Amino acid sequence: MTLGLVGALVAAVAYGAGTVLQAIGARRLTALPSGAGGRARVGAALPYAAGLGLDGLGFAASVLALRTLPLFLVESAVASSVAVTAVLSVVVLHLHLRRAEIGALGAVAVGLVCLAAVAEPGPAVQPGNGFAIATLVAAAAVAALLATGALDHDRQRGAIVLSVAAGLGFGGVGVSARLIEVPDPWWHLGVDALAWALVAHAALATVAYGLALARARVTTVAAITFVTETVVPATIGLALLGDRVLPGRWPLAGLAFALTLVGCIVLAGRSESSPSRDLEHDRDDAHLTPGALDVPVTNPRP
């Protein structure tokens, strides 16, 4: 269980740090003059590239964690990467957290500790070959939701549909990763339905999430996505994949799960509510260009 917990922690830290680095890199690229040379552009893009690398590390760490830990714990840990982003925004970019945000950080920390205490470690129960096909069918359903939301002329309604699609897609990644087994030789993964389902869910979720953010407030999108990508896989894991809570710990597990989720949602909305006077003060402290502190606290998992 210790290795799994380390993997979940590394995933949260890597995703959270990756968000900050990608934000810094994107802002630096935007701030470059139109005539900037290739060397300047490469230098400005380095933080973004490093952030993508951390995303890859986070994904690998989450897959490692899912070898031995239930979905309700690992998915909650991955969602808590917004807490890591919030802390790094204070340390690296000198942003200021409000009391509600500090309280949310505490809620996430307490919730994760409690979830780790009540989770019963162990590998997933393989439900049979039919389940792998079902994950591919689920990916097709996510694609249909994505198309429906993207084509909806009502932007708010479309954003809700897209957010649900993103959450289901990210949840599908978690479920597939929980079940997938690396064969010997490893390249036989190329004919594994679960491997294809994982890739399909990841791609669809990333596209749906980006489209949703372009249509609605980050708070709305993140709230719907977080709830969907944690609750749905957790339910599937408990009902079908053998994920377990220690005997007599169900009330604590439910409370901890809700506490972690609410804390993540509160932190996900922080980029929309930072007062302009604080931002100007922080820009002076950080010596960054305007906009460099508007760090998104949600980052699509690969």
Report residue 140 as tokens.
Answer: 């097709």
Nearest to 156 by CA among 219, 226, 228, 201: 219
Percent of the chain with pLDDT over 90: 51
Report residue 16 as tokens.
Answer: 């959270």
Question: Where does the pLDDT of residue 299 fall: very low under 50, low under 70, confident under 90, or very high at 90 and above?
Answer: low
pLDDT of residue 296: 52
pLDDT in tens, 202-212: 999 989 988 99
- Ranges 97-106, 138-147, 222-231, 257-266, most confident: 138-147
CA 137 – CA 295 distance, rounded (Å): 35
pLDDT of residue 1: 65
Instruction: Please give the average per-residue pLDDT across 219-239, as a whole number.
Output: 89
Question: Where does the pLDDT of residue 290 fall: very low under 50, low under 70, confident under 90, or very high at 90 and above?
Answer: very low
Instruction: Please give the average per-residue pLDDT across 83-112, as a whole number.
Output: 87
CA 113 – CA 90 distance, rounded (Å): 23
Instruction: Please give the average per-residue pLDDT across 67-94, as a whole number.
Output: 88
Given a cut of 80, is residue 95 above it in pLDDT? no
Percent of the chain with pLDDT over 70: 89
pLDDT of residue 258: 93
pLDDT of residue 298: 54
- Mean of per-residue pLDDT scores for the chain: 84
CA 246 – CA 107 distance, rounded (Å): 21
Model pTM score: 0.81
- Please answer whether residues 179 and 124 qualify as being in contact, where contact means their C-beta atoms are separated by less than 8 angstroms: yes
Torsion, Cα of 27, 300, 228, 205 (10° steps): 120
pLDDT of residue 32: 77
Diameter over CA atoms, the chain: 65
CA 3 – CA 192 distance, rounded (Å): 26
pLDDT in tens, 109-153: 999 999 999 999 999 998 887 999 999 999 999 999 999 999 999
Given a cut of 50, is residue 9 above it in pLDDT? yes
CA 29 – CA 48 distance, rounded (Å): 9
